[in-house]
Amino acid sequence: MLTIHTHPKPLLIAQIRTFAAVLAVFFLTNQISGQENVQPAGIRVAIRLMDDGRVTQVVVEKWDRVGIHGAFGTHPWGALEYLSMKRTFQKFMDRSSGADWLMLGELQLERDDVRGDKESEASFVQALRRDPSLEAGIQAARSRGMEADRLRDEANRITAAETLREGLPEGVTWTAKPWPILSDAQQDDAVAEMKKDSQALLEEAGFENAQPVETEYFLVYSALAPRETASLVRQLDAMYSTVTKLLGIPEGLNLFWGKASIFICRTSDEFRLIEAQAFKNMVAPGVIGLCHQRGPKVFVNTFRSEDDLQFASTLVHETVHGIMHRFISPVRLPTWADEGFAEYVAGRSFQGSPVDSNRRPQGLHFIRNGGDLSAVIEMSYQDGTWPGDQAVGYAVGYLLCTTMIQENPRGFADWVRAVKAGKNWRQALEDEYGVSVDRLVRYVRQRHLTND
């Protein structure tokens, strides 16, 4: 049995550091009349607070745009759970006042714990019924709400990206230079530049006026039929979700600089022409896809081979390389893991993937015929030894990564994070996964001598 070496789960930052600043924007720009609503002293209400969900009885002496006030001090509207905020506000508001309904709509727009837009629109309808002259104020409130949503989303994304960096295993410090975190405006500029660069690369190879299918993470330039392209796009999105779960990437976080550009050609000749003209690369026989990293940018070039499933697996495999390039830092895993992990993800991203049925038998044959796993682990791109005879490196890397993930997925993710932070991969394997290279080799070999 493989001993598991665990660490305490890194603390994830759940609160948005800039949320208070977003609310401040509302408070400063969102005043309706500046009025303070004084109620008869001694109005007792029950409220439920956001921080701990507890219900408390308070005596409200006055209320205004900021919140409710009394001997307890001030409870801002944002400190109350949504339904409690809505009911409390409606208890004190003048239901015949369009201004009060507008104020409620604005408060609802500020919430990110409910469908604030739907709720606020209902309040705005009530405001207009009572005072049609409030139309301009309602439009202004909507605009402020959209900007607040954008700021909140940006704050969420940046916090998630920072959390990803901070979630390193215990004792690991940064020695590699991580990718910078971009603002929304910088990301928008990066997407525009990726589109411009992709168009230029395709035109250089004689493919003009290509338009991408754009997803949350990808710009897919496909020469295939729309229905087939749509299926491949779904597979890419599923693959990204798989990697997200495996490596503890916050859901919905875009790792790419802008977005990754994916070129899907109809034929080998088109693929090779793009490789030669756009990427200045002569392709070895049998290659049907490649990932190119240009600084922070990721480009994947493929063609639809006769084997549909093998093509789809290759597309996913190469795109995983792009994700790993952008995961925290550009530091690479050792070659066997870089390729083995890409194969693992490709084998689990869509139904019918041939990865397991192809790689596992080859790897088992290698092990059971006395193949040296340690020699494969020493192979690398740099010295030209990878992937070995009959590309056995891919099969062995696949078995190694599959075993590591099955035995201890958290340990595998911690190991990857430590390596991306700049730690020596062998030392990280001992510290974060809990085994030496020799022990891992012995375990994988013994496990697969008899276990299919």
Give long-range contacts, CB 8 A cutoff, 24+ apart: 179-184: 179/257, 179/296, 179/326, 179/328, 179/329, 179/330, 182/257, 183/154, 183/158, 184/150, 184/153, 184/154, 184/157
Terminal alpha carbon distance of the chain: 17
Phi-psi region at 280: left, alpha or beta (left = phi > 0; alpha = psi -120 to 50): left
pLDDT at 39 over 70: no
pLDDT at site 2: 42
pLDDT at 26 over 50: no
Q: Taking a C-beta distance cutoff of 8 angstroms, is the pair 18, 155 a contact?
A: yes
Provide the percentage of residues in the chain whose pLDDT is more than 70: 90
pLDDT at 181 over 80: yes
The Cα–Cα gap between 441 and 373 comes to 6
Whether the model pTM is above 0.85? no
Q: pLDDT class for 13, splitting at 50, 70, 90?
A: very low
pLDDT at site 31: 40
pLDDT at site 322: 98
Averaged pLDDT, 435-441: 97
pLDDT at site 108: 92
DSSP character string of 52-67? T--EEEEEEEEE-SSE
- C-beta atoms surrounding 300 within 10 Å: 25
Averaged pLDDT, 101-108: 94
Q: Hey, what are 286's tokens? A: 């049998």
The Cα–Cα gap between 334 and 428 comes to 12
Predicted confidence (pLDDT) per residue in 384-403, tens digit: 999 999 999 999 999 999 99
Domains with residue ranges and CATH for the chain: 19-152 (no CATH), 180-330 (3.40.30.160), 337-452 (1.10.390)
Q: pLDDT class for 121, splitting at 50, 70, 90?
A: very high
pLDDT at 24 over 50: no
pLDDT at 38 over 60: no
pLDDT at 232 over 70: yes
Predicted confidence (pLDDT) per residue in 335-381, tens digit: 999 999 999 999 998 888 899 999 999 999 999 999 999 999 999 99
pLDDT at 272 over 80: yes
Q: pLDDT class for 451, splitting at 50, 70, 90?
A: confident
Task: Provide the mean pLDDT of the chain.
Answer: 89
Averaged pLDDT, 214-235: 94
Provide the percentage of residues in the chain whose pLDDT is more than 90: 78
Averaged pLDDT, 275-279: 95
pLDDT at 224 over 50: yes
Predicted confidence (pLDDT) per residue in 395-429, tens digit: 999 999 999 999 999 999 999 999 999 999 999 99
Q: Which residue has the higher pLDDT, 54 or 418?
A: 418
Listed ranges 151-155, 235-239, 281-285, 322-326; the one with the highest mean pLDDT: 322-326
pLDDT at site 33: 38
Strand blocks (E) in 223-379: 260-265, 289-294, 297-303
Contacts of 417 (CB under 8 A, 6+ apart): 167, 168, 169, 172, 247, 248, 328, 432
Residue holding tokens 């392209």?
Answer: 229
pLDDT at site 37: 54
Amino acid in the structure at residue 417: R
Q: pLDDT class for 116, splitting at 50, 70, 90?
A: low
Contacts of 195 (CB under 8 A, 6+ apart): 212, 219
